[in-house]
Protein backbone atom coordinates (compact mmCIF):
# COMPACT_ATOMS: atom_id res chain seq x y z
CA UNK A 1 0.00 0.00 0.00
CA UNK A 2 2.21 2.78 -1.26
CA UNK A 3 -0.54 4.97 -2.61
CA UNK A 4 -3.15 7.08 -0.86
CA UNK A 5 -6.55 6.61 -2.55
CA UNK A 6 -8.23 9.64 -4.10
CA UNK A 7 -12.03 9.34 -4.21
CA UNK A 8 -14.24 11.33 -6.57
CA UNK A 9 -17.35 12.76 -4.91
CA UNK A 10 -19.32 14.97 -7.28
CA UNK A 11 -17.18 17.96 -8.19
CA UNK A 12 -14.60 17.26 -5.53
CA UNK A 13 -11.85 14.76 -4.82
CA UNK A 14 -11.53 13.38 -1.31
CA UNK A 15 -8.26 12.28 0.28
CA UNK A 16 -8.10 10.77 3.76
CA UNK A 17 -4.64 10.90 5.31
CA UNK A 18 -4.28 7.91 7.62
CA UNK A 19 -0.72 6.76 7.33
CA UNK A 20 2.56 8.35 8.29
CA UNK A 21 3.62 10.52 5.39
CA UNK A 22 7.13 10.40 4.03
CA UNK A 23 8.81 12.10 1.08
CA UNK A 24 8.06 9.47 -1.54
CA UNK A 25 4.44 9.05 -0.48
CA UNK A 26 3.85 12.81 -0.48
CA UNK A 27 5.33 13.12 -3.97
CA UNK A 28 3.25 10.18 -5.23
CA UNK A 29 0.13 11.78 -3.75
CA UNK A 30 0.84 15.08 -5.50
CA UNK A 31 1.38 13.31 -8.82
CA UNK A 32 -1.73 11.14 -8.49
CA UNK A 33 -3.79 14.14 -7.45
CA UNK A 34 -2.80 16.35 -10.37
CA UNK A 35 -3.45 13.50 -12.80
CA UNK A 36 -6.86 12.88 -11.21
CA UNK A 37 -7.82 16.58 -11.25
CA UNK A 38 -6.98 16.68 -14.95
CA UNK A 39 -8.84 13.42 -15.68
CA UNK A 40 -12.00 14.19 -13.69
CA UNK A 41 -12.10 17.99 -14.12
CA UNK A 42 -12.62 18.23 -10.36
CA UNK A 43 -13.11 21.73 -8.98
CA UNK A 44 -12.21 21.01 -5.39
CA UNK A 45 -9.93 18.87 -3.24
CA UNK A 46 -10.91 17.83 0.30
CA UNK A 47 -8.13 16.54 2.54
CA UNK A 48 -9.31 14.87 5.74
CA UNK A 49 -6.70 14.88 8.52
CA UNK A 50 -8.98 13.80 11.37
CA UNK A 51 -6.83 10.79 12.12
CA UNK A 52 -3.62 12.82 12.41
CA UNK A 53 -2.63 13.49 16.01
CA UNK A 54 0.44 15.43 14.96
CA UNK A 55 0.87 17.78 12.02
CA UNK A 56 4.50 18.82 11.73
CA UNK A 57 6.20 21.19 9.32
CA UNK A 58 6.59 18.41 6.73
CA UNK A 59 2.84 17.72 6.59
CA UNK A 60 2.15 21.45 6.73
CA UNK A 61 4.38 22.03 3.71
CA UNK A 62 2.78 19.11 1.87
CA UNK A 63 -0.70 20.57 2.43
CA UNK A 64 0.52 23.98 1.21
CA UNK A 65 2.08 22.36 -1.87
CA UNK A 66 -1.05 20.41 -2.73
CA UNK A 67 -3.15 23.57 -2.39
CA UNK A 68 -0.76 25.52 -4.64
CA UNK A 69 -0.64 22.84 -7.33
CA UNK A 70 -4.43 22.35 -7.25
CA UNK A 71 -4.95 26.10 -7.54
CA UNK A 72 -2.91 26.06 -10.77
CA UNK A 73 -5.37 23.46 -12.08
CA UNK A 74 -8.35 25.59 -10.98
CA UNK A 75 -9.30 23.40 -8.02
CA UNK A 76 -9.70 24.67 -4.46
CA UNK A 77 -8.24 22.80 -1.53
CA UNK A 78 -10.02 22.51 1.80
CA UNK A 79 -8.39 20.75 4.76
CA UNK A 80 -11.07 19.19 6.98
CA UNK A 81 -11.28 17.43 10.32
CA UNK A 82 -8.32 19.07 12.02
CA UNK A 83 -8.25 18.17 15.71
CA UNK A 84 -8.36 21.11 18.15
CA UNK A 85 -5.02 20.08 19.67
CA UNK A 86 -3.45 20.06 16.20
CA UNK A 87 -4.70 23.57 15.52
CA UNK A 88 -3.20 24.81 18.79
CA UNK A 89 0.15 23.15 18.06
CA UNK A 90 0.26 24.51 14.51
CA UNK A 91 -0.26 28.08 15.71
CA UNK A 92 2.30 27.63 18.47
CA UNK A 93 4.80 26.38 15.87
CA UNK A 94 4.09 29.39 13.69
CA UNK A 95 2.65 27.17 10.91
CA UNK A 96 -0.69 28.78 10.19
CA UNK A 97 -1.28 27.14 6.77
CA UNK A 98 -2.08 30.51 5.19
CA UNK A 99 -2.44 29.03 1.70
CA UNK A 100 -4.98 26.44 2.75
CA UNK A 101 -8.72 26.77 3.52
CA UNK A 102 -10.10 24.73 6.42
CA UNK A 103 -13.51 23.41 7.42
CA UNK A 104 -14.70 21.51 10.47
CA UNK A 105 -15.74 18.36 8.63
CA UNK A 106 -16.11 16.85 5.16
CA UNK A 107 -19.72 17.99 4.76
CA UNK A 108 -18.88 21.63 5.48
CA UNK A 109 -15.83 21.45 3.24
CA UNK A 110 -17.96 20.06 0.42
CA UNK A 111 -20.46 22.87 1.00
CA UNK A 112 -17.67 25.47 0.70
CA UNK A 113 -16.64 24.05 -2.66
CA UNK A 114 -20.22 23.81 -3.92
CA UNK A 115 -21.07 27.34 -2.76
CA UNK A 116 -18.17 28.77 -4.67
CA UNK A 117 -19.08 26.78 -7.80
CA UNK A 118 -22.66 28.06 -7.63
CA UNK A 119 -21.38 31.59 -7.15
CA UNK A 120 -23.31 31.83 -3.89
CA UNK A 121 -20.59 33.71 -2.14
CA UNK A 122 -16.88 33.90 -1.78
CA UNK A 123 -14.88 30.79 -1.01
CA UNK A 124 -15.46 31.07 2.74
CA UNK A 125 -19.16 30.52 2.21
CA UNK A 126 -20.16 34.10 3.05
CA UNK A 127 -22.36 35.91 0.56
CA UNK A 128 -20.46 38.67 -1.13
CA UNK B 1 -2.77 6.40 14.34
CA UNK B 2 -4.66 3.44 15.72
CA UNK B 3 -8.09 4.46 14.49
CA UNK B 4 -9.56 4.49 10.99
CA UNK B 5 -11.49 7.73 10.42
CA UNK B 6 -15.21 7.51 9.66
CA UNK B 7 -16.49 10.45 7.60
CA UNK B 8 -20.12 11.53 7.46
CA UNK B 9 -21.35 12.32 3.96
CA UNK B 10 -25.06 13.09 3.88
CA UNK B 11 -26.95 9.97 4.94
CA UNK B 12 -23.91 7.73 4.66
CA UNK B 13 -20.68 7.10 6.50
CA UNK B 14 -17.49 6.68 4.49
CA UNK B 15 -14.55 4.53 5.56
CA UNK B 16 -11.36 4.28 3.50
CA UNK B 17 -9.26 1.25 4.33
CA UNK B 18 -5.61 2.15 3.71
CA UNK B 19 -3.61 0.42 6.39
CA UNK B 20 -2.96 -3.22 7.10
CA UNK B 21 -5.82 -4.44 9.23
CA UNK B 22 -5.20 -6.44 12.36
CA UNK B 23 -7.52 -7.82 15.05
CA UNK B 24 -7.43 -4.81 17.38
CA UNK B 25 -7.89 -2.29 14.56
CA UNK B 26 -10.82 -4.23 13.08
CA UNK B 27 -12.51 -4.41 16.49
CA UNK B 28 -11.94 -0.70 17.09
CA UNK B 29 -13.38 0.09 13.66
CA UNK B 30 -16.51 -1.96 14.39
CA UNK B 31 -16.98 -0.22 17.75
CA UNK B 32 -16.41 3.26 16.31
CA UNK B 33 -18.73 2.55 13.41
CA UNK B 34 -21.65 1.34 15.53
CA UNK B 35 -21.27 4.36 17.81
CA UNK B 36 -21.19 6.68 14.81
CA UNK B 37 -24.23 5.07 13.15
CA UNK B 38 -26.15 5.55 16.39
CA UNK B 39 -24.94 9.15 16.82
CA UNK B 40 -25.50 10.31 13.23
CA UNK B 41 -28.54 8.13 12.35
CA UNK B 42 -26.69 7.18 9.15
CA UNK B 43 -28.59 4.92 6.76
CA UNK B 44 -25.61 3.61 4.82
CA UNK B 45 -21.97 2.68 5.19
CA UNK B 46 -19.50 2.95 2.29
CA UNK B 47 -16.23 1.06 2.64
CA UNK B 48 -13.59 1.98 0.06
CA UNK B 49 -10.99 -0.75 -0.48
CA UNK B 50 -9.41 0.68 -3.64
CA UNK B 51 -5.98 0.80 -2.02
CA UNK B 52 -6.06 -2.85 -0.97
CA UNK B 53 -4.07 -5.08 -3.28
CA UNK B 54 -4.91 -8.18 -1.28
CA UNK B 55 -8.18 -9.07 0.45
CA UNK B 56 -7.72 -12.20 2.50
CA UNK B 57 -10.21 -14.17 4.56
CA UNK B 58 -9.57 -11.93 7.58
CA UNK B 59 -10.57 -8.76 5.70
CA UNK B 60 -13.44 -10.64 4.06
CA UNK B 61 -14.76 -11.68 7.47
CA UNK B 62 -14.34 -8.13 8.78
CA UNK B 63 -16.39 -6.74 5.87
CA UNK B 64 -19.08 -9.36 6.47
CA UNK B 65 -19.14 -8.53 10.19
CA UNK B 66 -19.41 -4.80 9.57
CA UNK B 67 -22.27 -5.38 7.14
CA UNK B 68 -24.10 -7.62 9.63
CA UNK B 69 -23.70 -5.19 12.52
CA UNK B 70 -24.73 -2.21 10.39
CA UNK B 71 -27.80 -4.08 9.18
CA UNK B 72 -28.87 -4.52 12.81
CA UNK B 73 -28.74 -0.75 13.13
CA UNK B 74 -30.71 -0.29 9.90
CA UNK B 75 -27.79 0.86 7.77
CA UNK B 76 -26.75 -0.75 4.49
CA UNK B 77 -23.13 -1.52 3.72
CA UNK B 78 -21.64 -1.09 0.26
CA UNK B 79 -18.04 -2.06 -0.46
CA UNK B 80 -16.63 0.15 -3.22
CA UNK B 81 -13.47 0.39 -5.30
CA UNK B 82 -12.56 -3.29 -5.35
CA UNK B 83 -9.72 -3.93 -7.80
CA UNK B 84 -10.44 -6.44 -10.58
CA UNK B 85 -7.57 -8.64 -9.43
CA UNK B 86 -8.98 -8.68 -5.91
CA UNK B 87 -12.39 -9.77 -7.20
CA UNK B 88 -10.78 -12.63 -9.12
CA UNK B 89 -8.76 -13.76 -6.12
CA UNK B 90 -11.79 -13.60 -3.82
CA UNK B 91 -13.84 -15.84 -6.09
CA UNK B 92 -10.93 -18.25 -6.52
CA UNK B 93 -10.61 -18.43 -2.73
CA UNK B 94 -14.31 -19.15 -2.40
CA UNK B 95 -14.89 -15.87 -0.53
CA UNK B 96 -17.72 -14.28 -2.43
CA UNK B 97 -18.77 -11.78 0.27
CA UNK B 98 -22.42 -12.81 -0.02
CA UNK B 99 -23.54 -10.56 2.82
CA UNK B 100 -22.02 -7.44 1.30
CA UNK B 101 -23.20 -5.23 -1.55
CA UNK B 102 -20.56 -3.83 -3.90
CA UNK B 103 -20.31 -0.87 -6.27
CA UNK B 104 -17.62 0.23 -8.67
CA UNK B 105 -16.83 3.52 -6.96
CA UNK B 106 -17.92 5.80 -4.13
CA UNK B 107 -20.33 7.79 -6.28
CA UNK B 108 -22.20 4.70 -7.44
CA UNK B 109 -22.22 3.31 -3.91
CA UNK B 110 -23.68 6.57 -2.62
CA UNK B 111 -26.31 6.43 -5.38
CA UNK B 112 -27.29 2.89 -4.34
CA UNK B 113 -27.85 4.07 -0.77
CA UNK B 114 -29.79 7.16 -1.85
CA UNK B 115 -31.96 5.21 -4.31
CA UNK B 116 -33.00 2.83 -1.59
CA UNK B 117 -33.76 5.68 0.82
CA UNK B 118 -35.93 7.40 -1.77
CA UNK B 119 -37.71 4.12 -2.47
CA UNK B 120 -36.69 4.35 -6.11
CA UNK B 121 -36.01 0.67 -6.37
CA UNK B 122 -34.50 -2.19 -4.50
CA UNK B 123 -31.08 -1.91 -2.98
CA UNK B 124 -29.32 -2.80 -6.21
CA UNK B 125 -30.68 0.35 -7.83
CA UNK B 126 -33.15 -1.49 -10.10
CA UNK B 127 -36.72 -0.28 -10.09
CA UNK B 128 -38.96 -2.84 -8.49
A13: domain CATH number is: 3.30.750.24
A76 interfacial to chain B (CB closer than 8 Å): no
Is A127 inside any structural domain?
no
Q: Does ipTM exceed 0.90?
A: no
Closest alpha carbon to B44 in B60, B30, B33: B33
Residue B6, pLDDT score: 95
- What does the pLDDT look like over A75-109, one tens digit per residue? 999 999 999 999 998 888 888 787 789 999 999 99
Q: Please check whether residue B25 lies inside any domain of the structure.
A: yes
> Would A128 be classed as within a structural domain?
no
Nearest CB to B106 within list A3, A8, A50: A8
Q: Do A19 and B18 make contact, defined as CB atoms within 8 angstroms?
A: yes
Q: Which of A3-7, A58-62, A122-126 has the lowest mean pLDDT?
A: A122-126
Structural domain for A28, as ranges = 6-117
Closest CA to A29 of A72, B79, A18, B105: A18
Distance from the Cα of A9 to chain B's closest Cα (Å) equals 6
Please report the number of interchain residue pairs, chain A to chain B, with beta-carbon separation below 8 angstroms: 69
pLDDT at A121 over 70: no
Residues of A whose CB is below 8 A from B7: 14, 16, 48, 50, 81, 105-106
pLDDT of the residue at A125: 46
Instruction: Please indicate, yes or no, if residue A46 is contained in any of the structural domains.
Output: yes
Residue B54, min C-alpha distance to chain A (Å): 10
B72 occurs within a structural domain = yes
Q: Is residue A21 pLDDT above 80, yes or no?
A: yes
Q: What is the pLDDT of residues B18-67, one digit of tens each?
A: 988 888 899 999 999 999 999 999 999 999 999 999 888 889 889 999 99
Kindly report the three-state secondary structure assignment for every residue of chain A: CCCCCEEEECCEEEEECCCCCCHHHHHHHHHHHHHHHHHHCCCEEEEECCCCCCCCHHHHHHHHHHHHHHHHCCCEEEEECCCHHHHHHHHHCCCCCCCCEEECCHHHHHHHHHHHHCCCCCCCCCCC
pLDDT in tens, B64-89: 999 999 999 999 999 999 999 999 98
Is A122 part of a structural domain of the chain?
no
Whether B46 maps to a domain, the answer reads yes
Beta carbons of B110 and A53 less than 8 Å apart = no
- B19/A4 Cβ within 8 A: no
Overall domain count for chain A: 1
Q: Look at residue A123 and tell me if it is in a domain.
A: no
Q: How far is B20 from chain A (nearest CA, A)?
A: 8
Amino acid sequence: MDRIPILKMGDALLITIQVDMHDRLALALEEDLTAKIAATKAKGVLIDISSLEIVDSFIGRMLDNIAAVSRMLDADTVVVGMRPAVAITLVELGLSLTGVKTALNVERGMLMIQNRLRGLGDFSGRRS
